[in-house]
Structure 1
């Protein structure tokens, strides 16, 4: 492949617009992009000024390297709609999918790559300087090109087997997306006691930052808190307090506390009896919640 590639991007969403901007900044020719929604057009105007905006078919016809940055559930249909040329490189940014999603284009002679940036995107200038790992799946002849594109983006490659793509993506979604849910639930609980104008982010940020850094560095050894200490009475107090909170928050607390009890037991932080006592308290609270729901329904 030439040093300067003709790149086209189908889907100017949060991911596609940022990758397009960074590939252009790396010296490649951004020949065309597609994006029809008002949000996509705003991203194009902001991050990709002057780029030719056209249909997915025309983007594919103009590009030597075609990036499909579309939602997971639409990827196969988009790929099946497009025509490819022998030797054309087509990559997608889905974490879940591997090469099978591009099988229709591979049958036309395209060189296919699964090219997932393991990063959360805002679709703004904030993303332009961020670096990340890319989860890659490709055939032997495409591995070098995939790694070259990752290097152009300032990233780090990690190779994922085709059959492991769903597990890989589940790990990222569980760690990142569910983290957002838990943090927002914690902020809502704090606002309920500190008031709507309280700076709850300032309360949580140092604690959460330290917890994340410790977990990434030390694994289960970073576990702290009442479950890891075996403070069953404190867990019961939490459950009583959460009985009047949002049901999904209480449910999340119980499920994560169960998982924490198992991990703390496996790590030797608490013994089997204490772990069982924690789980019994959680089970009792769940039954109480269910009974209250049934009574309310009556």
Structure 2
């Protein structure tokens, strides 16, 4: 780490999440050293112009902080594979963004002397600059060994998020809550849009926008209060 606390950051995973995390960290003053190829290199270039695109091994070798943003089923094999070829370095920070894993999945890197961090920003990523605005009002689940938990929390703050500590043993339950919220919301919108379209509403998404946002805001407010009250007008209707 540089004396001013700025890090050389490498991104492994260039889907919708990795480039956004990289852009947020760059905005906080860190230096982006490289990113791997992804599903849409043009989008990556738009988010991170001029950042070298290299293979995972070279990204890891060049970085003080490695951010791993890959699909859930790829994370364990990737970490272990990089350990087998000696990529991880003593004192290197390794951070993944998967909601379901804590830091145990990073054990192969830890065995090589790396420092494990798990930070999951609780937003639905689009892979565009719009996500940076969402991060600024989001929470992030952080998991890390006690001695380095402040580092994970500080990086969450630098992403724009408010950090919330989630214990290693609670990550699976946390991931279930996140999946339930996102999948249910998508399902309801698709179902409602299909019904509105069938009765002749030309733009169901626009029609539902204010309704869905207001309904979700009210539900979230009720959930925060622990309220089980029901809107009487809904019952009357």
Aligned equivalent of 1:217, options 207, 210, 221: 221
On the 8 A contact 1:8/1:32 being kept in 2, the answer is: yes
On the 8 A contact 1:18/1:127 being kept in 2, the answer is: yes
CA distance in 1, matches of 2:207, 2:43: 33
> Which sections of structure 2, spanning at least 5 residues, go unmatched?
none
Residue 223 of structure 1: how far off its partner (Å)? 4.0
Residue 98 of structure 1: how far off its partner (Å)? 0.9
2:68 corresponds in structure 1 to 68
Q: Which has the higher helix share?
A: 1
**2:159 aligned with 1:157, yes or no?**
no
Larger Rg: 1
Number of aligned residues:
226
On the 8 A contact 1:211/1:222 being kept in 2, the answer is: no
2:123 corresponds in structure 1 to 119
Aligned equivalent of 1:86, options 87, 90, 113: 90
Residue 52 of structure 1: how far off its partner (Å)? 0.9
CA distance in 1, matches of 2:206, 2:18: 33
Alignment of 1:68-217 (within 5 A): 68-82=68-82, 83-130=87-134, 131=136, 132-195=138-201, 198-217=202-221
CA distance in 2, matches of 1:182, 1:142: 40
**2:51 aligned with 1:47, yes or no?**
no
On the 8 A contact 2:15/2:38 being kept in 1, the answer is: no
CA distance in 1, matches of 2:143, 2:108: 17
CA gap 1:203/1:44 in 2 versus in 1, 3 angstroms:
closer
3-state SS in 1 of match to 2:219: helix
TM-score, L = length of structure 2? 0.89
On the 8 A contact 1:15/1:121 being kept in 2, the answer is: yes
1:31 corresponds in structure 2 to 33
| CA offset digits 1:37-95 (Å, max 9, x no partner) | 3x1x1122101111111000000000010011000000000001112111110010000
3-state SS in 1 of match to 2:179: helix
Residue 113 of structure 1: how far off its partner (Å)? 0.6
3-state SS in 1 of match to 2:123: coil
Residue 101 of structure 1: how far off its partner (Å)? 0.9
- Which structure would you say has the larger RCO, counting Cα contacts within 8 Å and 6 or more residues apart? 2
3-state SS in 2 of match to 1:194: coil
Q: Cα RMSD over matched residues?
A: 1.9
3-state SS in 2 of match to 1:128: helix
CA distance in 1, matches of 2:229, 2:57: 51
1:57 corresponds in structure 2 to 57
Residue 221 of structure 1: how far off its partner (Å)? 3.9
CA gap 1:36/1:119 in 2 versus in 1, 3 angstroms:
closer
